[in-house]
Amino acid sequence: MEYSLVCHSLYALWSSPVKKKLILLSIMFLIWVYMLYSCVGYCSTMPNLVVDSYRGKETVSAVGKRTESSRTDLVSRLLAKSQPWEDIESDYEEPSIRTAASRDLLDNELETDRTDDWDEMRGEQQRAPEPSAMSSFSNGSGSKKLPQAIIIGVKKGGTRALLEFLRVHPDIRAVGAEPHFFDRNYDNGLEWYRELMPKTLEGQITMEKTPSYFVTREAPARISAMSRDTKLIVVVRDPVTRAISDYTQTLSKKPDIPSFESLTFKNRTTGLIDTSWSAIQIGIYAKHLDNWLQYFPMEQILFVSGERLISDPAGELGRVQDFLGLKRIITDKHFYFNQTKGFPCLKKAEGSSKPHCLGKTKGRTHPNIDPEVVQRLRDFYRPFNMKFYQMTGHNFGWD
């Protein structure tokens, strides 16, 4: 009897047109709320803060700021270290105060870096697949952590390629664009920095890459203050080729800059190299490494060969995965060689089923440089390279 009454009531409820519409609207509302919640979970993993930071919209956080006196002490300690680099090469001089022209050139180089970062960021967003509601819901889990590993250098060494390759690994989550926290945005505080990071699950590694850290005097002390256990990765490349690549990048954005030859020498007649030019200074790897070894032991720094990253990407990625304590998942099967660009590409990029090569800002054709200038640069870098080989215990074969 009770069962028949319940059935009769349900039938009466459903047979009413008004009540039927209310029930359907309620169901549609619940579905809409679920989809909205899923979308919020997905959007929270997108690096919007990083994109905004390149548009100058950063929000300054007071949490985690260093005091001015603490930073001054750290800089003083670094400056107090004796670094007798003039003993290595007789015509090497410590960089002097830049002229207005050289400062303008440096500003152009920094602006070029930001533009390339923005182009890469847009490329990543354009190729990202649209997630399903269920995958979006799962992406909302996890938490944002400070990076346990950082690619600290070097500019034009192959850092973007390395990061793109590493992002294939399921246990690595990385920021797409360069945060520049430890050189340009340190006053924003660690909480600001943490918010730039993607969410990670237990067992996953958070990473970022900013190549200018390697040549920033304050960066080692600042990263050490965040965590002495941070693992550091440096992609190095023949310093002569690297300098030409650096110049090529700037030239592509600022075609009116002076020639490579005129920027290389303080005096072409005497052959004195201008080490105040950042394109030359970055390649003095031994000098920069000496600064990092004041705060980190050598076993916490991995040096990746930029040349081998092209000729044997799987081999170099194997070393990186070992260094990070991860299973070797990225292997030869993930790569194919692109004859047009002249370097390896991924068969399947992170979050995509399509092949992926680095964008148009990578693999630019280098201008023709006077062979005598190239040889003079090789002679200049040779003693520094030898010192670098001794420090790292690895001969990179640049000489």
Where is the binding site for 3'-phosphoadenylyl sulfate, in residues?
156-160, 237, 245, 362-366
DSSP state of 367: P
Where is the binding site, in residues?
156-160, 237, 245, 362-366
Residue 335's Cα: distance from chain center in Å?
Answer: 20
The 3-state DSSP class for residue 200 equals strand
In the chain, which residue ranges form alpha helices assigned H by DSSP? 2-15, 17-43, 48-53, 68-80, 100-127, 133-139, 159-166, 190-196, 219-226, 239-253, 260-264, 278-281, 285-292, 306-311, 313-323, 371-392
Look up residue 264 and give its two tokens.
């290389």
DSSP state of 212: G
Question: Which residues are the active-site residues?
Answer: 156
* Residue type, position 50, single letter: V
What is the 3-state secondary structure of 222-252? HHHHHCCCCEEEEEECCHHHHHHHHHHHHHH
194-226: b (≥16 Cβ within 10 Å) or e: bebbbbbeeebbbbbbbbbbbbbebbbbbbbeb
d(CA 70, CA 107): 28
Look up residue 314 and give its two tokens.
């799987």
d(CA 349, CA 353): 7
In which order are the strands placed within the sheet that holds 149-153? 172-174, 205-209, 149-153, 231-236, 301-305
By C-alpha distance, which of 63, 300, 292 is closest to 193? 63
Look up residue 288 and give its two tokens.
């920069």
The 3-state DSSP class for residue 149 equals strand
